[in-house]
Amino acid sequence: MVRRTDFDSGLNQLRELLIKMGTRMDEALQEAVESLKTADLAKAEEVIRRDGELNVLEEEILELGSQLIITQQPVAKDLRRIIVAFKISSDLERMGDLARDIAKVTVRLDGEAIVKPLVDIPHMAGIASTMISESIRSYMDENTDLAYKMAKDDDEVDELYGSMLRELYALLIDKPEAAPQMMLLQMVGRYIERIADHATNIGENVVFLVTGRRPDLNS
């Protein structure tokens, strides 16, 4: 016999795992960017080492959600809640890979002085960090207004990334010898831009959860 209390308990566990995963992802991003700003190789290596924690959490979410589907046989919106949780955990795991890649750039630079003040990258990371927490909250509260906000924030990250690229290209004229480092910084900007894209994906999935329709928040 399917009991609603059992299903609700399972959903609460699923939400708790997503909160834990989102918090860990946010920490990874902030620590990775901080390691770049301060040339802290130990912090960067810790981000890389802990990346596996996100993989474990994703597996726990998939296992719990699968058990809920098998034992509780949810339909309609209840089923969408689980499917969207799967998609969110996948996006968070991919974000974690990107935070790890930022930390790897710190390791590759190996204490080398940065050719320009790091302004755009921390700014982008700050917006992306807010997007991570708000995208998870939009799922918890089924808040489509917050989900749609992801598109606006993503546009701001894109604009900052474009501005950073233009600055790097201009700087390259005066400092061609710094081209390898500039390429690494460009990669970091791209990684953060992709993290913002994944947060936007979460927003789209929340709208799907609430409405049953899949929007394109970037359109």
User: Of residues 218 and 200, which shows the higher confidence score?
Assistant: 200
Q: Which residues are CB-neighbours of 45 under 8 A, at least 6 positions away?
A: 103, 107
User: Of residues 115 and 13, which shows the higher confidence score?
Assistant: 13
Checking if the pLDDT of 94 tops 50, the result is yes
Checking if the pLDDT of 219 tops 80, the result is no
In this prediction, residues 118-140 reach a mean pLDDT of 96
pLDDT for residue 88: 97
- What's 112's DSSP letter? P
pTM above 0.85, yes or no: yes
Intra-chain end-to-end CA distance of the chain, in Å: 44
Checking if the pLDDT of 1 tops 60, the result is no
The secondary element (H helix, E strand) that includes residue 19 is helix 4-38
Sign of the alpha-carbon torsion through 151, 129, 87, 188: positive
In this prediction, residues 110-132 reach a mean pLDDT of 94
In this prediction, residues 42-53 reach a mean pLDDT of 96
Alpha-carbon span 33 to 119, nearest angstrom? 11
Residue-averaged pLDDT of the chain: 94
pLDDT for residue 3: 66
CA distances 208 to 32, 68, 71, 131, Å, are 32, 20, 24, 18
For the record, the structure tokens of 86 come out as 């799967």
The secondary element (H helix, E strand) that includes residue 10 is helix 4-38
Sign of the alpha-carbon torsion through 12, 15, 21, 25: negative
Count of CA atoms in the C-beta half-sphere (13 A) of 3: 4
pLDDT for residue 215: 80
